[in-house]
Amino acid sequence: MSEKINSNPTVFAPTKTTTRKGSKTSRYLWSDEGEFQGTLSLTGGYPLNSGSESEGVGVAEEEEEPIDSEEIYDLLRSINDPEHPLTLEQLKVVSAEQITVSPNHVMIRFTPTIPHCSMATLIGLSMRVRLLRSLPSRYKVDIMIQEGTHQSENAVNKQLNDKERVAAALENSHLLGVVEQCLSTAHQRGSYE
């Protein structure tokens, strides 16, 4: 990018650590570091009941841990801005308060740094790709520009929430390369240096 649209953005200090509370299971589910080190079993560690019609006997019930807005924010906060070497958290493009999570649905409202930001679609696309790669497939994700913060918010919102348009955008190798560059710091989750 030769000329920056917003050459002097306001930069905010990021928080020092992740905002969500730790748990035993989420440490492994959301880890970007290495591979899973345990063993996986389809039977919960118990032998299959052969010939038995009773279901659930001897199978440990797995309790689903709910995902909250803080956890979604931790996934998004260290994505790089496509125009500056700063994160979405540092530019206050996204915050935990702008994220709503209900069972199987995540709604994100983000704030571009300027009302005519030409990178808004790319920022939203980067957030969508990060969540598609991180969340279980049962979650529906809606990404919207905060009302009144962008001159083309309706057009951008339509692009970001249309499956065909998102798929077509990700088939463009140049665009995918820019998204990957934005996501190159996503694993940091607030550990800035």
Domain segments of the chain as ranges:
66-188
**Rounded Cα gap, residues 74 and 193, in angstroms:** 17
Q: How confident is the model at residue 30 (pLDDT cuts 50, 70, 90)?
A: very low
CA 163-166-171 angle, to 5 degrees, is 125
Structure tokens at 137: 């497939």
When pLDDT is averaged across residues 154-171 and rounded to a whole number, the result is 95
pLDDT tens digits, one per residue of 100-153 = 999 999 999 999 999 999 999 999 999 999 999 999 999 999 999 999 999 999
pLDDT of residue 187: 81
**Rounded Cα gap, residues 171 and 167, in angstroms:** 6
pLDDT tens digits, one per residue of 34-77 = 443 444 333 444 444 444 444 444 444 455 678 899 999 999 99
pLDDT of residue 188: 75
pTM of the model: 0.69
**64-101 burial, b if ≥16 CB within 10 A, otherwise e?**
eeebebebbbbbbbbbbbbbbebbbbbbbbbbbebbeb
Q: Within a 13 Å sphere around the CA of 118, how many CA atoms are in the beta-carbon half?
A: 7
**Single-letter amino acid code for the residue at 50:** S
Task: Concatenate the DSSP letters of all residues of 61-74 into one string.
Answer: PPPPPPP-HHHHHH
User: Does 13 have pLDDT greater than 70?
Assistant: no
User: Does 168 have pLDDT greater than 90?
Assistant: yes
When pLDDT is averaged across residues 156-168 and rounded to a whole number, the result is 96
**Rounded Cα gap, residues 95 and 109, in angstroms:** 9
In the CATH hierarchy, which fold is given to the domain comprising 66-188?
GMP Synthetase; Chain A, domain 3 (3.30.300)
**Is residue 143 a contact partner of residue 127, using CB atoms and an 8 Å limit?**
yes
pLDDT of residue 40: 37
According to DSSP H, which parts of the chain are helical?
A: 26-29, 69-76, 120-134, 153-160, 163-171, 173-183
- Per the model's pLDDT, the better-predicted residue between 188 and 162 turns out to be 162
Sign (positive or negative) of CA dihedral 100, 106, 111, 113: positive
**Rounded Cα gap, residues 117 and 152, in angstroms:** 9
pLDDT of residue 14: 67
**Rounded Cα gap, residues 167 and 56, in angstroms:** 39
Instruction: Flag the least confident range among 1-5, 96-100, 133-137.
Output: 1-5
